[in-house]
Amino acid sequence: MSYQLFYWPSIPGRGEFVRLFMEAAELDYEDIARTDGADALVEDLHAREGIRPFAPPYLVDDEVVIGQTALILLYLSDKEGLGSGDLATDLKLMQLQMDIADLVEEIHGTHHPIAPGLYYADQMDAAYEKAADLRANRLPKYLIHFDNALAANGGPFMLGEQWSHVDTSLFQLMEGLDYAFPTYMAQMQGTWANLEALQAAVPDIEGLAAYLASERRMEFNDDGIFRHYEELDEQ
């Protein structure tokens, strides 16, 4: 049976981090809400009982149902034999994946700094301040952290020549930042050269090139996590 991915059909969002890994690994999966619509997702989630995912993305593998992007990637990586083969190293990869999740949340906070349920237009002043701090402090801190980690094994990937879930996620992170903050990212070019090299190398992973060129690869849009609002990219 193929994996079933449940994620909102109209945004790349966190679902794309899972998709990129599955495509790179050439795994068979059904993208349920993209074929059956968002209602199918809501119905499925509400029908689940007990310990269930809080929010999409979540993955169904027969009896196994897992939420949280980082955990889904750990599960798939382990099950498909795409980890490092060493527990301590796999935990380091997981640590990085959770760092990525933390940063993704902060990026989401640039357009929703007060409440996820409010419109951007109702929290623009706070958004402006949050985005300025992200650009000045948080992005350099996180991206240099990832860049230094990449330098440890000589690149282009986190484990050197062997790609992992961290690399497909860092690729998506960099693509999203280029979309959301093009002026800032252009100005900072070269500051995190290892990350830029990874961003260039990931599309060459066998299995990914076809996906990235296909219509299934969703473009960033201004309903998702990575949004481009010119005023949040001002220098």
Ligand X SMILES: N[C@@H](CCC(=O)N[C@@H](CS)C(=O)NCC(=O)O)C(=O)O
Q: Which residues bind ligand X (CB under 6 A)?
A: 13-14, 55-57, 68-69, 101
Residue number with CB closer to ligand X (55 or 152):
55
Task: Give me the least distance between CB of 29 and ligand X, in Å please.
Answer: 17
Q: Which is nearer to ligand X, 104 or 155 (CB)?
A: 104
Shorter beta-carbon distance to ligand X: residue 57 or 83? 57
CB closer to ligand X out of 13 and 155? 13
For the CB of residue 227, give the shortest distance to ligand X in the complex, in Å: 13
The residue with tokens 């986190």 is 158
Ordered DSSP codes for 153-203: TTSSBTBBTB--HHHHHHHHHHHHHHHH-HHHHHHTTTTTHHHHHHHHHGG
> At its nearest, how many Å lie between ligand X and the CB of residue 210?
25
Only one residue has tokens 């979540």, namely 58
Least CB distance to ligand X at residue 7 (A): 8
**Contact criterion met (CB below 8 Å) for 89 and 159:** yes
102 CB contacts (<8 Å, ≥6 apart)? none
Q: Where are the alpha helices (DSSP H) in 112-158?
A: 124-133, 139-152
Please report how close the Cβ of residue 151 comes to ligand X at its closest, in angstroms.
26
What is the DSSP secondary structure assignment for residue 26, as one 8-state letter?
Answer: T
Count of other CB atoms within 10 angstroms of residue 88: 7
Q: Measured at CB, which residue is nearest to ligand X? A: 55
- 61 versus 196: smaller Cβ distance to ligand X: 61
